[in-house]
Amino acid sequence: MSGIPLCHYQNLVFPCFLVGAYSCSCARQYGMDPGSSSATLFEEEAEASLEKFYPMTLGEVINQKYKVVAKLGFGSASTIWCCHDLVTSKYAALKIYAHDLVSEDEFDNEAAIYKHLSTAGNPDHPGRIYVRTIQDSFFTRSRAGKLHQCLVHDLLSNDILSLRYARSDRKLPEAMLKQILIHLLLALDFLHSECHIIHTVDSSIVEQLDRKEIAASSLCKTVNGYNLYRSVNFGIPKTFGRPILCDFSLARNGQVEHCHDIQPDPYRAPEVILEMPWTYGVDKWNIGVMVWDMFENRRLFDGLDPDTGKYGNRFHLASIVGLLGPPPLEFLQRSEYSSVYFDDQGKWKCLNPVPSVSWEESERNLESVNKKDFLDFVRKMVRWTPESRATASELLEDPWLLGPFLEALGRPQIQSGGRGVSERDFRVDNEKLLFDAAP
């Protein structure tokens, strides 16, 4: 089973170095001060129907077990809450779905994916521990009698995006980026090769929260009896655990092709833009463009019309052509829509020009051999044809990615085309490696 590209980096969370307080890509953690303007829409109030969400009250006990202590975030179809498990005395993240989902399949899909992940594949695969698991799932009714579906997970902390924005240059240090990527690629290899899925906090952090402050200040607004709470920001932890890949609500079966539209605009793979069938290749493309975002603090492709600032397929495709060159004719023949943008020879035919760019000019952080190796790494994923993009296991053998880790393990650096490190090597304690670059 599998989904939207695994690489939206709010889907990576750290259990103390978690990549997200709930670490769900749809769990947004922002909101304007409701006192600033009577017209301000606060957090989930900005969604089309506030009434679809579960009307939570802090201190409420859900399913006779989970006492809600703080709000972690929200999305278009759910809210996320920090809960105290009254049975185990541990903290957990509770995701409560809206009662009027456009399709009830989303919950069924996510719950099924987590169930599949718990039993599928090699239990000793090193990537398994970097994929989020589920603690509990159940249904609950609101006071109005509306049915809501719930998932319970381990509580995580910050997502990758928050780590970036904690830094003045909005860029992840190279050492940190490499370690995150190794964990991410191990998780992706487990999903792709073992589970056939496309992905398309420890207690001390919570205990530092002032309960009175949460209760008094996080209730920001009441609308028609619905309490709107401000999402809690745990801040950047002093120590980090392993990053965890989260949110499988849009995951899909990787053993069949899919045709529906996916991915945030800047992350859309060429086959998605051209409405071709897609499978594992979209995850690979997403890692490539995500790496660029995290390391360069700018989009590899934004797809924006320079005059209007709005996204458009032809601007996105033109920027890809500018960097990668024209697509193979065989690739274009897979889409009935390619003739809108390319002629019979595969040449660009739209009025908007193809920008003149190069990989070397676009990369601004590195020099010499290190720059070349980094660009070679990204180019293995950012390719026109999905089947030509490197797999997660192949990327785990890349010289740019593994060099510092092999040195830490006391082994000589591999040469291009050589065999990568063994699975046992990736079990080295994180703290012995490269997180000294954390903000």
Other CB atoms within a 10 A radius of the CB of residue 242 amount to 18
- Of residues 275, 125, 287, the one with CA closest to residue 198: 287
* Rounded Cα distance, 403 and 177, in Å: 13
Q: Helix or strand or coil: residue 354?
A: coil
Q: What is the DSSP letter of 55?
A: -
Q: Are 58 and 69 in contact (CB under 8 A)?
A: yes
Amino acid 313 reads: N
CA distances from 264 to 246, 282, 287, 352 (A): 17, 12, 13, 22
Q: String of b and e for 199-219 (b: at least 16 CB within 10 Å)?
A: bbbbeebbeeeeeeebeeebe
Active site residue: 159, 189, 202, 398, which one?
Answer: 202
3-state percent breakdown (helix, strand, coil) of the chain, nearest 5: 35, 15, 50
Would you call 124 a catalytic residue per the annotation?
Answer: no
* Cα 114 from Cα 348, distance rounded (Å): 43
Chain centre distance of CA 110: 15
| Concatenated DSSP letters of 237-249 | -SS----EE---T
Using CA atoms, how far residue 110 sits from 47, 81, 150, 199, in Å, is 22, 18, 11, 11
Residues designated as active site: 202
